[in-house]
Structure 1
Amino acid sequence: MEAISRFFVTKDITIRQAIERLDQTAKKLLVVVEDKKLIGVITDGDIRRWILKNGDIKRSVSLIMNTSPVFLNREEKDKCIELMKAHSIEAIPLINDSREVVDILFWNEVYDNQFKYYNTNDIPVMIMAGGKGTRLHPYTKIIPKPLIPIGDTPIVERIINRFLEFGFNDFYLIMNYKKDMIKAYFNGEQPYQLNFLEEDSPLGTAGSLSVFENNIQSTFFVSNCDILIDINYSQLLNYHKKHHYKMTVVTALKNYEIPYGVFTLNEKGAISTLREKPQYELLVNTGMYVLEAELLSYIPKESYFDMTDLINQCLVNSEPIGAYPIRESAWLDMGEFKAMQNMVERLKL
């Protein structure tokens, strides 16, 4: 009982506190209890839907919790896989006859693989591996950023391995800086399809995608080569398809605290309010995207063009673009020394 109590919360905590608790447990489910009895659950998806409604995360979790959760009596434990598949969920609480939660079953622990929300076999993954990584000098003066090891594995290989967990099998490395070193690292047969695209000159974070305009007819992923995103990629794909977006941007809910008292003024220039060290939550771009192939026509040929340029072009043309908010802890960024050290620490390498 002590082991699962870390997943227990009451309905009085704030959504921000629930996010912090999810970070601590490194799981995607919290169980809302009253006298140890099950009254609801909170998942990543519940928090995501609240954020997409611009909800205030200082409010109570009672506003977002599922008060009719799927659960099993502990004697019915053997039905968990069937029930998870039927309801497309990754965790189920077990209760006793008094409705007290006695255990929680997680799909990846019971079934020893990742839950699939959508078929990913024919979805290409473009990894933008051509940048110079100037923020990581002097390391990147010697080796390209994609090959910088996180523990004993280069970051680009960790990105590929994460996609492999969800059934992706078709990868493209888009290279420029020290491209021969990247190709040499992957020399030999791989247990997946790996293709190399070499830029003659830097084309930004989207410019080189124009070469695929006549070759890709389907949905595809794009990822920067210095990030790791700890989410279910098949669920992200399912979300993108369900909402009929032309592009879905993976965004992280990042908390910023102003380390000072902040004043607001009235119309006469006198102080009207003071907020001491206010906190703000902002949705920031993580560097991972899901796109439909028709957007490739917006990218100019052989010209420098960033993904932000493509997003702006989509907005001008009223293309539907979605955001997929994730917790900040699910986004690991290697762009700078401090972030790289944080990535190593978070992965406990």
Structure 2
Amino acid sequence: MYIKKNLKKITVTSDISIRESLDNLNSGGIQALLVINKDSTFAGIITDGDIRRHLLKDGNLETSIGAIIKKDSTIAMTEDENELNDIFKRNKINHIPVLNKKNQIISLAMRADLNNKSYENINSSIVVMAGGKGSRLAPLTNIIPKPLIPIGYSTIVEKIFDSFVNQGFNNFKLIINYKKELIRSYFNELEHSYKLEFLEESKFLGTIGGIKEFSKKLTDNFVVTNCDVVTDINYHKFFKHHIKKEAYLSILGLKKSTKVPYGVLKLDEESDVTGIQEKPKQTHTIMTGIYIINKKALDFIPDGVEFGMDELIEKLIFNNKVVTSFVIEDGWYDMGQFSEYKKLLMHIDS
């Protein structure tokens, strides 16, 4: 069982202001801060959601953290795995501070961390495709590269990183091209708890073509995600499905219903009307832009030419290789469209 011992970046004193705490919150990578009193005893825990709710109520950034922390935080007095699991099962929480008899924090257990020892794919490469121009969000992306578009107190790509870090993943590859120096500069100035390597495309090679030139840097099974989608799925279940199916490529699918805004005619072969259906709802399983790929699939990508993910999928199917889907029904947000971007902001603020 993994217990987080290095707590320096995520620990603050109760007298500092919310403004001062934001740097710790952004660099900590767990979306929460541990708060201590001046005598180093435990005062409480605060999440990024607590801060957002405070600010939405016209809260002041100069308010002290101590004024808004959760006074009744759930704690543990032991690092015993069974006891911590029981606490997580009884409470809808992601973090449990572990205290000693002097009421001082000695470690932090996180819900995702408890079972890390059973997750064989915890060290898998997480490849984020951040080289595109983000034309759907122009003119905003004429100035800011899509990965750095703000979401709450951080950026879209950091939200993606956080969704993996909170489940124990730590090995990120960021493929860059458009406005690459801005992206590099941003992360070079940012303190973070995960491993991050920039992979620079020699030229734009489509949605998947650029992956092949970096194959030696990737694990046998790796995640590929667009840099404009955020999801709260359990990635370990996704990996389990991929491995069980012995798939070359697994697609995260989403059941999505669309309502036709008009009455629909039912016609026979002679174009005679046999019935009508008023504003029917159609349900499809769509591609979310998140995949798990086995390195063997890279052999089907041609060298040095533009190649799309759709082409790879069709080529694998044509060659009778297993392509499967792990289907979810909600918890996915496409920031590449302004309407979905607004929904994501609302989700984060809730």
**Counterpart among 210, 213, 216 of residue 211 in structure 1:** 213
The DSSP-based 3-state class of the residue aligned with 2:158 is: helix
Indicate conservation of the 8 Å contact 1:203/1:304, yes or no: yes
1:129-183 C-alpha deviation (Å, 9 max, x unpaired): 0010111111111110000011121101111111111111111100110000000
Give the whole-Å Cα distance in 2 for the aligned partners of 1:266 and 1:217.
54
Aligned length: 254
**Counterpart among 301, 304, 314 of residue 303 in structure 2:** 301
Match of 1:113 in 2: 111
The Cα RMSD (Å) is: 2.5
**Counterpart among 162, 180, 194 of residue 196 in structure 2:** 194
Match of 1:4 in 2: none
User: Where do residues 254-273 of structure 1 align in structure 2 (5 Å cutoff)?
Assistant: 254-273=256-275
Indicate conservation of the 8 Å contact 1:145/1:226, yes or no: yes
Match of 1:326 in 2: 328
> Offset of 1:347 from its aligned partner?
1.2
User: Where do residues 29-108 of structure 1 align in structure 2 (5 Å cutoff)?
Assistant: 106=92, 108=94
Change beyond 3 A, Cα 1:148–1:180: same
Indicate conservation of the 8 Å contact 1:126/1:223, yes or no: yes
**Counterpart among 264, 289, 294 of residue 287 in structure 1:** 289
Give the whole-Å Cα distance in 2 for the aligned partners of 1:184 and 1:277.
50
Identical counterparts, % of pairs: 36
Note the residue ranges of structure 2 that are not aligned, 5 or more in a row.
1-80, 97-108
Match of 1:176 in 2: 177
TM-score using structure 2 length:
0.67
Match of 1:47 in 2: none
Q: Look up the equivalent residue of 1:141 and give its one-letter code.
A: N
> Offset of 1:311 from its aligned partner?
0.6
1:175-218 C-alpha deviation (Å, 9 max, x unpaired): 11000000001105642211111123211110111113344351
Give the whole-Å Cα distance in 1 for the aligned partners of 2:173 and 2:215.
14
Match of 1:77 in 2: none
The DSSP-based 3-state class of the residue aligned with 2:307 is: coil
> Offset of 1:228 from its aligned partner?
0.3
Match of 1:220 in 2: 222
Give the whole-Å Cα distance in 2 for the aligned partners of 1:260 and 1:83.
56
Q: Look up the equivalent residue of 1:192 and give its one-letter code.
A: Y
TM-score using structure 1 length:
0.67
The DSSP-based 3-state class of the residue aligned with 1:244 is: coil
Runs of 4+ in 1 over 6 A off after TM superposition: 83-86
Change beyond 3 A, Cα 1:82–1:244: farther
Match of 2:338 in 1: 337
> Offset of 1:340 from its aligned partner?
1.1
Change beyond 3 A, Cα 1:190–1:84: closer
- Could you tell which deviates more after superposition, 126-135 or 106-115? 106-115
